[in-house]
């Protein structure tokens, strides 16, 4: 394949990437499909593409997805982040938590980076092993047991933490032995069974 052919815009490739990400692509992914930032701007002006935030675009004719805001936040992390804490509780359907912000855990090495964090995103730093991840459509989130542990350490209200842990136990998402941090956090409030 010649260099000219490699740089030729390929809408099908761009659409395929967007299809796996609720209609979103990064400027890097667009470049891999042959779309420069100038060409993306042309498509923005033509109404085919919308700039969602710095470095992230959405194909406007793509059907809306259930987790669009979460996908955009995840793409902002260069796909290194994992949705966590209250956001992950909500994705797992545990408790009545209604997160007002998107909680994202980034690898420890990101702690040293200077970042422009998008509005509404709260960052945490920890290395999350593949075994501690679950996928919800196109985005990763911490597993139910990891999520409960993170929420316990972060001081989630005892009522919501207890409700989430009991629901996770009932649904078989965790076993009691995985709830050490939850039990410790709830001990001053009557424990898990209170």
The pLDDT profile of the chain, 194 residues, written as one tens digit per residue, is 444 445 799 999 999 999 999 999 999 999 999 999 999 999 999 999 999 998 999 999 888 877 889 999 999 999 999 999 999 999 999 999 999 999 999 999 999 988 899 999 999 999 999 999 999 989 999 999 999 999 999 999 999 999 999 999 999 999 999 999 999 999 999 999 85
Q: Give the model's pLDDT for residue 193.
A: 81
Q: Give the model's pLDDT for residue 61.
A: 87
The rounded distance, in Å, linking the Cα atoms of 82 and 126 is 10
Please report, for the chain, the start and end positions of each structural domain, with discontinuous segments joined by +.
3-59, 68-189
Q: Give the model's pLDDT for residue 3.
A: 43
The rounded distance, in Å, linking the Cα atoms of 136 and 116 is 26
The rounded distance, in Å, linking the Cα atoms of 93 and 74 is 20
Q: Give the model's pLDDT for residue 63.
A: 81
Residues with Cβ within 8 Å of residue 150, at least 6 apart in sequence: 84, 85, 88, 105, 124, 142
Q: Give the model's pLDDT for residue 4.
A: 43
The rounded distance, in Å, linking the Cα atoms of 58 and 3 is 27
Residues with Cβ within 8 Å of residue 70, at least 6 apart in sequence: 83, 87, 91, 102, 136, 139
In the chain the first and final C-alpha atoms are separated, in Å, by 67
The rounded distance, in Å, linking the Cα atoms of 139 and 153 is 23
Return the H-helix or E-strand segment holding 111: none
Q: Give the model's pLDDT for residue 194.
A: 58
Q: Give the model's pLDDT for residue 153.
A: 97
Q: Give the model's pLDDT for residue 67.
A: 85
């Amino acid at each position: 394949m010649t260099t000219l052919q490699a740089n030729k815009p390929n809408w099908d490739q761009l659409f395929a990437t967007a299809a796996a990400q609720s209609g979103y692509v990064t400027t890097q992914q667009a470049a891999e499909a042959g779309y420069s930032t100038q060409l993306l701007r042309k498509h923005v002006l033509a109404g085919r593409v919308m700039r969602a935030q710095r470095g992230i675009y959405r194909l406007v004719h793509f059907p809306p997805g259930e987790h669009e805001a979460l996908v955009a936040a995840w793409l902002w992390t260069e796909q290194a982040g994992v949705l966590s804490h209250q956001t992950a509780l909500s994705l797992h359907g545990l408790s009545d938590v209604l997160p007002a912000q998107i909680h994202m855990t980034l690898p420890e090495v990101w702690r040293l980076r200077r970042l422009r964090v998008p509005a509404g995103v709260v960052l945490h730093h920890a290395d999350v092993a593949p075994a501690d991840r679950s996928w919800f459509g196109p985005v990763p989130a911490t597993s139910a047991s990891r999520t409960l542990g993170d929420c316990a350490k972060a001081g989630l209200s005892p009522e919501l933490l207890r409700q989430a842990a009991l629901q996770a136990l009932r649904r078989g998402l965790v076993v009691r032995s995985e709830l050490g941090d939850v039990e410790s956090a709830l001990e001053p409030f009557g424990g898990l069974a209170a």
